[in-house]
Amino acid sequence: MLSKTAEYALRATVWLGRTPENAEPADHLAEAIRVPRRYLHKVLQDLVKAGLVRSQSGPGGGYRLNRDPGEISILDVINAVGPIERINTCPLGLESHTSLCPLHQELDKAYAAMEEAFSRVTVAQVINRPSRITPLCEVKLGDST
């Protein structure tokens, strides 16, 4: 249900949130999160424009979070690159549908529930959630962490 752009933005934000005090070069970031470099550049521009990420040029430069990972919700990241489209009017443009039909009411309720769920989870919570699986990292066989 999420666009590839939103998925890539979430990967980038979670990766940057692991070490928020460090700037990550775009080439390394693209390799680490397995996103094409050119596509990542567009995603990072959107995240910068939304105030979630900042870029630093020069030696030691790259991208880093502009806010604490505990202050950035999953919904913030999604909205930065392409908000979840709610259904406010009949998608078919039927003039007789002055309110949403039962089908589109249910779909919009699902979108609203998704927005609500994503708004409650921060990047820090994703990173710090107890699990033997680290987000975006390969787990070595026999690794008990």
Parent domain of 57: 4-128
> What does the mean pLDDT of the chain come to?
90
DSSP state of 44: H
Residue 140: inside a domain: no
pLDDT tens digits for range 88-142: 888 888 888 888 898 999 999 999 999 999 999 999 999 998 877 777 666 555 5
Check which CATH number belongs to the domain holding 70 and give it. Answer: 1.10.10.10
Query: How many structural domains is the chain composed of?
Result: 1
Q: Is residue 62 part of a domain?
A: yes
81: buried, middle or exposed (CB in 10 Å: 19+, 13-18, 0-12)?
buried
What is the phi/psi pair of residue 64, to 5°? Answer: -150, 160
E-strand stretches of 28-99: 53-56, 62-65
Residue 139 resides in a domain: no
The string of DSSP letters for 55-74 reads EE-STT-EEEESS-GGG-BH
Look at residue 23 in the predicted model and tell me its pLDDT: 94
Domain annotation covers residue 115: yes
